[in-house]
Amino acid sequence: MKNLDALVRPNINDLKPYSSARDEFSGSASVYLDANENPYNDPFNRYPDPMQWELKKRVSEIKGVDAENIFLGNGSDEAIDLLFRAFCEPKVDNILTIAPTYGMYQVCADINNTPVKKVSLNDDFSLDAAKVLAACDDNTKIVFLCSPNNPSGNLLASKEVAEILSRFEGLVVVDEAYIDFCPVASWLPNLKDYPNLVVLQTFSKAWGMAAIRLGMAFASQEIISVLNKIKYPYNINILTQQVAQELLSDTENMQGWVEILLSEREKMVGELEEIAMVEKIYPSDANFLLVKIRKAKEVYDALVGKGIIVRDRSRVELCADSLRITVGTPEENKVLLEELKAMS
Ligand SMILES: *Cc1c(COP(=O)(O)O)cnc(C)c1O
């Protein structure tokens, strides 16, 4: 990896961050007259902890990563955007993504005026590290890998990811939004081995908290400090911090949901295989299935007509005629399968 100072944009290296009232005094006191808050309407009158230490302590216990190596964002999408703003000089630097993959990397790149190099996955959606490394140049700052990948659903082979981590000189972001569906495959235990590794996770999927907007980035203290330096001072509001604490007190609930969803996914695979217009069901390590189906667009529209919404991914690279179907409750899945059988 290059020296971190050489990777960070010069203006960010030079930046003197905003110092909030809660940054300048963070102990406990009895009279707070430092932040121009209204003294009435407790507890919503006070600005929240800008660094969310209580919540990070809990996340640290659950994930086995020190609080100093954790960044919390307004969804993991915030961390993605901040990575661009910290590391990619507009029109000068570039990033690399695999294809197909999660659409937000491209959108954030476009917003930040950063060119994107795309490297296609193999036909079975597997990753070729040599192709990725060959496509990088001196101005490539970040390689985005998504594992399990969205929309294909598969984990990327750890040997290929490790090769990119050891040979690429910029940051490697491994987006693990779906890792709770296959926790042993996480890269979190390898953070200490790779100073250029950034792992993204979220509470939006397996944890069932998409509405409160809370995502995580895990990396070296140096990288986390850069993100903290440029984030909005109070990026995680108090409602989110409180609800997250409550819901994170019980991890068994989440594990129970994951068990149900994984067993439902396998049941759906079995039933989809029996449907004639289904041509291929790609193996999934996540809570969704990518399904190649004859006349996918017509099937999609017909499902909409029945009030059932799946995601048409037909225009996405390597996904011609493919629908991405999220695993729902047993009742929801049954309704979908019955409609598909009726159309076949
Ligand atoms: C859903 C998803 C996210 C989610 O992000 P949040 O902003 O945390 O809700 C991130 N990455 C991938 C690949 C996703 O599919």
For residue 202, the CA-to-ligand 1 centroid distance in Å is 7
Is 75 touching ligand 1 by the criterion CB < 6 Å?
yes
The pLDDT assigned to 27 comes to 85
Cα separation, 220 vs 175, in Å, equals 16
Give me the tens of pLDDT residue by residue for the chain, a chain 344 residues long: 999 999 999 999 999 999 888 888 888 899 999 999 999 999 999 999 999 999 999 999 999 999 999 999 999 999 999 999 999 999 999 999 999 999 999 999 999 999 999 999 999 999 999 999 999 999 999 999 999 999 999 999 999 999 999 999 999 999 999 999 998 999 999 999 999 999 999 999 999 999 999 999 999 999 999 999 999 999 999 999 999 999 999 999 999 999 999 999 999 999 999 999 999 999 999 999 999 999 999 999 999 999 999 999 999 999 999 999 999 999 999 999 999 999 98
Ligand 1, closest atom to CA 76? 8
Of residues 180, 86, 85, 103, the one with CA closest to residue 144: 103
Token reading at 272: 């989809």
Cα separation, 105 vs 115, in Å, equals 11
Q: Output phi, psi for 258, to 5 deg.
A: -60, -45
116 contacts 97 by C-beta, under 8 angstroms: yes
Is 202 touching ligand 1 by the criterion CB < 6 Å?
yes
Q: In Å, what is the CA distance from 204 to each residue of 50, 73, 329?
A: 21, 12, 17
Q: The pTM is what?
A: 0.97
The pLDDT assigned to 25 comes to 87
Is 76 touching ligand 1 by the criterion CB < 6 Å?
yes
- Residue type, position 269, single letter: V
Q: Determine the residue of 77, 198, 288 to mutate for testing ligand 1's pocket, defined as the one with the most ligand atoms within 8 A of the Cβ atom.
A: 77
The H or E element that residue 242 is part of is helix 238-248
Ligand 1, closest atom to CA 77? 7
The total number of residues written for the chain in this structure: 344
